[in-house]
Structure 1
Amino acid sequence: MDLSYILNHLGEEREGYHGAVSPPLMQSSIFAYPTVARMRTGFADEFAEHLYTRGNNPTVAILRKKMAALEGAEDCLAFGSGAAAISAAVFASIRAGDHVVCVARPYSWTRSLLRDLLPKFGVATTFVDGTDIGNFEEAITDGTRLVVLESPNSMTYEQQDLAAVARLARGRGIRTLCDNSFATPLNQSPIALGIDLVAHSATKYLNGHSDVVAGLLCGSEALLREVFKGPYMTFGAILSPHDAWLLIRGLRTLAVRMERVAATTMRVLGFLEAHPKIRRVHHPHATDNPQLGLTRRQISGASGMITIDLATDEVAAVERFCDALRRFLMTVSWGGYESLAFPVCAVFPPDAPLRATAGLPLSLVRLSIGLEDADVLIGDLAQALDKL
C-alpha cells in the first residue's frame, strides 16, 4: 500500500457519503440500532462497532485505519493526548508488584507516570541509559513486564537500538512500548523492528497545525483490544470526532511537510554546528553525535528538532538570545508549521544555577523547525546569537 494512498484515500468509503471528497464529521455521541438483536452485537464488540463514541466513532475509525497502515500495525486507538496514549499502554501492561524499565530521559509526563504515580500501586521503575543494550540487560528482573522506549527522545535525542531491545525483551516475555513522535512513521518503523506498541503525540508532526491535542497507539489487534477493554474505556481519555477530522486533514500534507522540514533543518543544523557561540548542537544527524551510525541504520530521514547548548555561563545571556528571536515563537510543544523555541531555563527561577541543576543544563534551547524559509530562520538565529 503506497504512502499517498494511505494519506489521501485509505478508510474513506466515499460511496457511503454521497461521494464527498473530504470525509464527513460524525459528531454524534450515540448510534441507533433497528433491532434488539443488532444492538446486542454493538455491545458485544464496541472495539469494532459504532455504539457510543467513547468507544468507537466513524470519523475516528478513518484515522485509526490510516495510522495503523502508516505504522505497519494491525490497528490503532486514538486518545485525547499523547500522555493518555502512553498511560493507557502502560496500565494495560502491568499490575501491582510488577517492574518497568524505562529510558533515562523520557517525555516529562511519561517520567511522572512511572516515577511518581505507579509506585502508589506497587509498580517500580528502573530508568536506564538506553544508548547501551547492556543497561537494559542489567536492569531487567524476574518481575519486569514492560520496557518503555523513546527513540529519539524529545530534548537531547538519545536513541535506542530498537531491534536489539525488542529481541531482548521478547526472549523474556516482556512487552515493549516506543514513543515514535520525533521520527514519525515516515522516518522510523518500530513495529517492523519488533516493538509491540508504538505511541505518538499526534499533536506534533502528524497533525502539524498546532490546533489539536491528540495521542495515538498502534499495535496488534490483540494488544489493542486489551488496552481498549481496560484503560481506554475505563479512563475515557478519547479523541473527539472533530479533532480526528482535523488530524485526517493534517495527515494529507504529512509527507510534503516533513520533506520541507528535513531540508530546512539540515541547512540550519550546518549553520549552528559552525557557530562559535554554540557549545554543542544536539540532533540525530549532528556530525558529532556518537550515535550517528545508529541514526543512519534506524531513521530514514531528518526531523525538525534541534537543541543547542549556548556557550555561556549566565542564564541572563540565554534570556537575551531567546528574547531577541523574531521568527521563532517561544512556547512549549513542537512539530507544527511554525518554528518554535523552548528555553529550558524558563522552567526554573531566574536565579537558578546554569549547570549545577540536576538534569539538563539551563543553557539548552530547543528549536522546532517549521515551514519558513531556511535563510530567514538562519538570519534570525544569527542576529539573536549576536546578542548572547
Structure 2
Amino acid sequence: MEISHILNELGEDRSLYFNAVSPPIMQTSNFVFDTFEDIRKAFEDEDSAYLYSRGKNPTIEILRKKLAALDEAEDALVFNSGASAIFCSVLANVKTGDHIISVDKPYSWAWRMFDNMLPRFGVETTYIDGTKIENFENALRPETKVIYLESPNSNTFELQDLEAISKLAKSRGIVTIVDNSYSSPIHQKPLALGIDLSLQSATKYLGGHSDTVAGVLTGRKDMLQKIFNEQLLNNGSGISPFNAWLILRGLRTLPVRLAHITKTTEKVIAFLKTHPKIDRVIFPFDNDFPQLDLAKKQMSGACGLFTIVLKTDSYNRIEKFTYGLNHFLVAVSWGGHESLILPQAAAIGPENFDPIIERHRMARVYVGLEDADYLIADLRQALEIL
C-alpha cells in the first residue's frame, strides 16, 4: 500500500463528517444505541462497536488503521503513552512462573517493570547483550515466554538481529516484542522480519510536534484483540480522541520531516566527526558504527538521534558547553521540531563523574527541523568552551 494513500486517505470517509478535509475530533465519552440487539453486541465485543471511548472511538479508529498499514500489520492499538504499550504487551504474554529475556539496559520504564513490578507476581527477567544471537540461545529456559528487544536502543544504539531472533523464538513458541521507537515504521518494519509485536512511542516521530504523549502497538489481530480486551480496557490506558487527532496531524508530514532531519543529521555529524573536542560519534548509519552491516540490512535509514563523546575531563565544562548552546534545548525525548541535547553527566552528578568512563562524557543529541548551518554554528561556538 502506498504511503501517500495511508497517510492521506486510508480510514477516512469524508461523507461521514460533512466532507471536512480533516477528520473531526469525536470528543465524546458515550454513544447511543437504536436497539437492544446493538447494545448486546457491543457488550460482547467492545472492539466491534462504538460503546465507550475508553475503548473504541471514530477518531482513534482512523489512526489505528493508518498505524497498522504503516507497520504492515493486521491491527494496531494506541495507548496513552509508550510505557503503557510496553506494559500491556508484556503483561498479556506472561503469567506466574514465566521467564523473560530482555536486552541489557532497556528503556527505564521497561526496566522498572521487569525489576520492580513483575517479580511481585513471580515473573523473572534475564538481561543479556543482545548483539549476539548465542546470548539469547544461552539464556533460554523451558519457562521463557517473551523476548524483549530494542533495536536500536536510544542511547548507544546497539541492534539485535531481528530476523534471526524471531526464528529462534518461533522454534520455541516464544513471543517477541521490539521497541521500534528509534526507527519508526518509515525506517524499519520489524513484523516483516518475523517479530510478533512492534511497539513505539508515538510521542516521538509519529506525533512530531512535542505536544502529545502516546504509544503504539502493532501485530496480529488475535494478539491485539486479547490485549485490547484484557489489558487496555481494564487499566484504562487507551489514548484520548484529542491526542489521537494530534497524532493523525503529525502523520501527514512524517516522511517529509524525516527526510529533512536525515539530511541535516548527516551534515551535523560530518562536522562533529572532524572537531578536535569530539572523541567519537555513535550513530547506526555511520561508517565507524560496529553494527553498520546489520543496520543497513534491517533498516532503510536512520535519522535525528545520535550520541557524541566529549573530549574533556571536566564535569563543569560539560555543563557549560551544554548551556552554552543557544539552539539545542536540554530535555529528554526526541522526534519533534526542536533540536535537543541530554548529557549523561547530568544524571551522574559531579561527585560521581569519572572522565575515564566514556559513558560519563556522552551526550545524546537530537537534530530537529532547523537548518544544518544554523545548528553547526551553534555547536561550533559552544564547543569552544571545552
Matched residue SS, 1:326: coil
Quote the offset at 1:348 in angstroms.
2.9
Q: TM-score, normalized by length of structure 2?
A: 0.98
Asked if residue 374 in structure 1 is aligned to residue 363 in structure 2, the reply is no
Output one character per residue of 1:13-54: Cα deviation in whole Å (capped at 9) or x when no partner: 111111111001100001110111111111111123210111
Aligned to 1:25: 25
Matched residue SS, 1:361: helix
Does structure 1 retain, via aligned residues, the 8 Å contact 2:285–2:301? no
Asked if residue 230 in structure 1 is aligned to residue 215 in structure 2, the reply is no
The size of the alignment, in residue pairs, is 386
Determine the C-alpha separation between the residues in 2 that align with 1:307 and 1:22.
38
Does structure 1 retain, via aligned residues, the 8 Å contact 2:314–2:355? no
Matched residue SS, 1:195: coil
Quote the offset at 1:201 in angstroms.
0.3
Matches for 1:243-258 after TM superposition, within 5 Å: 243-258=243-258
Quote the offset at 1:323 in angstroms.
1.1
AA aligned opposite 2:133? I
Aligned to 1:261: 261
Aligned to 2:34: 34
Q: TM-score, normalized by length of structure 1?
A: 0.98
Determine the C-alpha separation between the residues in 2 that align with 1:377 and 1:148.
36
Unaligned 5+ runs, structure 1: none
Does structure 2 retain, via aligned residues, the 8 Å contact 1:265–1:302? no
Does structure 2 retain, via aligned residues, the 8 Å contact 1:85–1:216? yes
Matches for 1:1-388 after TM superposition, within 5 Å: 1-355=1-355, 361-388=359-386
Determine the C-alpha separation between the residues in 2 that align with 1:199 and 1:316.
38
Quote the offset at 1:351 in angstroms.
2.0
AA aligned opposite 1:226? K
Determine the C-alpha separation between the residues in 1 that align with 2:115 and 2:354.
25
Output one character per residue of 1:173-220: Cα deviation in whole Å (capped at 9) or x when no partner: 000001111001010000000000000100000000000000010011
Quote the offset at 1:155 in angstroms.
0.6
Output one character per residue of 1:319-373: Cα deviation in whole Å (capped at 9) or x when no partner: 111011111011111110110111122223332223578xx72211111110100
Determine the C-alpha separation between the residues in 2 that align with 1:203 and 1:258.
15
Unaligned 5+ runs, structure 2: none
Quote the offset at 1:305 in angstroms.
0.2
Determine the C-alpha separation between the residues in 1 that align with 2:355 and 2:79.
37
Deviates more, 1:228-237 or 1:150-159: 228-237
AA aligned opposite 1:343? P
Aligned-residue Cα RMSD (Å) equals: 1.1
Flag the 1:355–1:106 CA change in 2: closer, same or farther, 3 A. Answer: farther
Which ranges of 4 or more aligned residues in structure 1 deviate by more than 4 Å?
none
AA aligned opposite 1:382? R
Does structure 1 retain, via aligned residues, the 8 Å contact 2:132–2:160? yes
Does structure 2 retain, via aligned residues, the 8 Å contact 1:128–1:135? yes
Give identity over the alignment, percent: 50
Determine the C-alpha separation between the residues in 2 that align with 1:256 and 1:167.
34
Determine the C-alpha separation between the residues in 2 that align with 1:48 and 1:366.
43
Does structure 2 retain, via aligned residues, the 8 Å contact 1:99–1:123? yes
Output one character per residue of 1:249-288: Cα deviation in whole Å (capped at 9) or x when no partner: 0000000000001111111111112222111211101221
Does structure 1 retain, via aligned residues, the 8 Å contact 2:72–2:191? yes
Determine the C-alpha separation between the residues in 1 that align with 2:297 and 2:234.
39
Does structure 2 retain, via aligned residues, the 8 Å contact 1:354–1:361? no
